[in-house]
Amino acid sequence: MSEAAGFEFIQVKYLHILDIPSLSIRPGVITSILGPSGSGKTSLLRLLNKMASPTSGRINYNGADLAGISPVEHRRRVVMMSQSPVIFKGSVRDNLTAGLRFQQKEIPAEDILRSVCEQVRLDQALDSPSGVLSGGEKQRLALGRIILLDPDVYLLDEPASGLDDETAGCILDMLTEKTRSQNKTLVMVTHSRAMARRISDELIHTTRGRAASGAAG
Amino acid sequence: MNGIIDLGFYQVAAAYIFVVIVLAIIRHRGISREKEIVIASFRMTLQLVMVGYILVYVFDNPNPFITAAIVIAMEAFAIYTIFNKFRGGLSTGLKKVIALSTGAGTVLCLLFFLFVIVRVNPWYNPQYFIPIAGMLIGNSMTAVSLAVKSLTEGMTTQKQLVEEALVLGATPQMATRDILNSTFDSAIMPTINSMIGMGIVFLPGMMTGQILAGAAPTTAIAYQIAIMLGILGAVALTVIFTLQMGYRTFFNKEDQLAAGNRDY
């Protein structure tokens, strides 16, 4: 089981986009980030996995200053799925295992790859070309890709944006169950207040670059 | 072998008939390139006449400092030409990489070629040093220009793929591997193509020059083979140096795409 992880923001500013005097994201819980477009939700996620760095202030991860942690090592533990995930050239299998190859991890057996495809409701053959997938299928393939990485923290940017309500609900329930049963952390950006309240333990509201947290209940 | 037929003033002047023919054709077709053709022909003539007189002096008075100064000037001009080709489009970091790669790659190959293959004596003999340096530096300059163009285009058009790879835990080197491989291909391909066509499609300039000067074709061929392999080495080395150091200039120390390469 992975060690739980937590983030703490101290006087963090990021360009003109975010200004967060104080914020905590607790380990082992599901946190949703809500807020209007342009309020800095995606930037907040990028700060969490070091795809962006604070202009000033400090972010701690498990008590250690994130600035002192190797970016590549950090991204391997704190994996992000962007709102419009990019699909690489090649087959479904190539894309599913892309992260594992980047992280130089062992490629699992065929049945495990198929099982992940089932979990994200992707019924394409593993060897079919990824170029013919629809937007929703690409979204599910990208989700499968990060599930296979088995990170400590999942960061999802609008994971349900390209999916119908039923599929989105099933996949998010599966991720929720995985997060809770394996004591992982999930931070998700969403526009859906109802979905956020249904699956989250905590909510973060971003407004004009400010972020405030509270319980989801 | 017969000695070379000397070209007199009027014979060289007669060659300008080709320029006149080209000017007549493009004027007839309404292509407005007369000015460029006249300037290029004039510049080429002036530069070569000047170089001719300089080389006469340098060959008659061999001196290690003069030889080194000429090679440094050639390197500087090659690097300046590459910078000029991408006016304003290169970061300071990439400019440093270009200068270092071009200098290091060509000098290493030049020294190996002169001291190990030709075994030139004295070591600074300008008759060998300068023309061979010219061929290695000239070809490397073209290859580095192609490499920089392909690298910067690749990092722009495939920015999202690079970002996605980083997000999934790739190092910058892994994230740019495909771009670097295709860049290496496109930079080295002209050299490979010219090697393939050599001797069948065309006789290379150096070999032609040596044959015209009275050297035995077999000697000319031996030099041409060696210099082509030297060019291949210099081109490959400068391009590899450029790519291995150049890709890093697109990232900051946090392994994020550097500010100028981001969309956000």
ipTM, 2 dp? 0.92
User: CB A50 to CB B256 under 8 A?
Assistant: yes
pLDDT of residue A164: 84
User: CB B169 to CB A76 under 8 A?
Assistant: yes
Beta strand A7-14 pairing with A153-157: unpaired
User: CB B168 to CB A146 under 8 A?
Assistant: yes
Residues in chain A: 217
Residues in chain B where the model's pLDDT stays below 50: 264
Please tell me the pTM assigned to this model: 0.85
What's the CA gap between B44 and B51, in Å, rounded? 10
Per-residue tokens: A192: 């859906």
Give the minimum alpha-carbon distance from A79 to chain B in angstroms, rounded to a whole number.
6
**Preceding peptide of B122 cis, ω within 30°:** yes
Instruction: Enumerate the residues of chain A whose CB falls inside 8 A of the CB of residue B165.
Output: 98, 102
* Beta carbons within 8 Å of B200's beta carbon, 6+ residues apart: none
Instruction: Enumerate the residues of chain B whose CB falls inside 8 A of the CB of residue A50.
Output: 254-256
Of the candidates B160, B163, B169, which has its C-beta nearest A99's C-beta?
A: B169
Judge contact between A94 and A133, C-beta under 8 A: no
* Beta carbons within 8 Å of A155's beta carbon, 6+ residues apart: A45, A48, A49, A78, A79, A80, A81, A187, A188
pLDDT of residue B261: 56
Interface of A with B (CB under 8 A): 42-43, 46, 49-53, 71-72, 75-76, 79-82, 85-86, 88, 98-99, 102-103, 145-146, 149
Q: Which residue of A has its CA nearest to B171?
A: A72
Q: Which residue of B has its CA nearest to A104?
A: B170
pLDDT of residue A42: 93
SS3 state at B68: helix
Instruction: Enumerate the residues of chain B whose CB falls inside 8 A of the CB of residue A145.
Output: 168
What number of helices (H) and strands (E) belong to chain B? Answer: 11, 0
Determine how many CB atoms are found less than 10 A away from the CB of residue A136: 17
Element spanning A64, H or E = strand A64-65
- pLDDT, tens digit, 9 for 90 and up, residues A164-209: 888 888 888 899 998 999 989 999 999 888 888 988 999 999 988 7
What does pLDDT average to in each consecutive run of 10 residues of chain A (217 residues)? Answer: 68 93 92 92 95 96 94 96 92 96 95 94 91 90 94 92 83 90 93 89 89 72
Torsion angle, CA of B40/B45/B49/B54, rounded to 10 degrees? 20
Interface of B with A (CB under 8 A): 160-161, 163-171, 174-175, 254-256, 264
Residues in chain B: 264
Give the minimum alpha-carbon distance from A157 to chain B in angstroms, rounded to a whole number.
12
What's the CA gap between B255 and B93, in Å, rounded? 15
User: CB B168 to CB A102 under 8 A?
Assistant: yes
Q: How far is CA B6 from CA A26, A105, B10, B119, B235, in A?
A: 87, 70, 11, 30, 34
Tokens 């082992």 sit on residue = A28
- pLDDT, tens digit, 9 for 90 and up, residues A136-148: 899 999 999 999 9
User: CB A72 to CB B170 under 8 A?
Assistant: yes
pLDDT of residue A19: 93
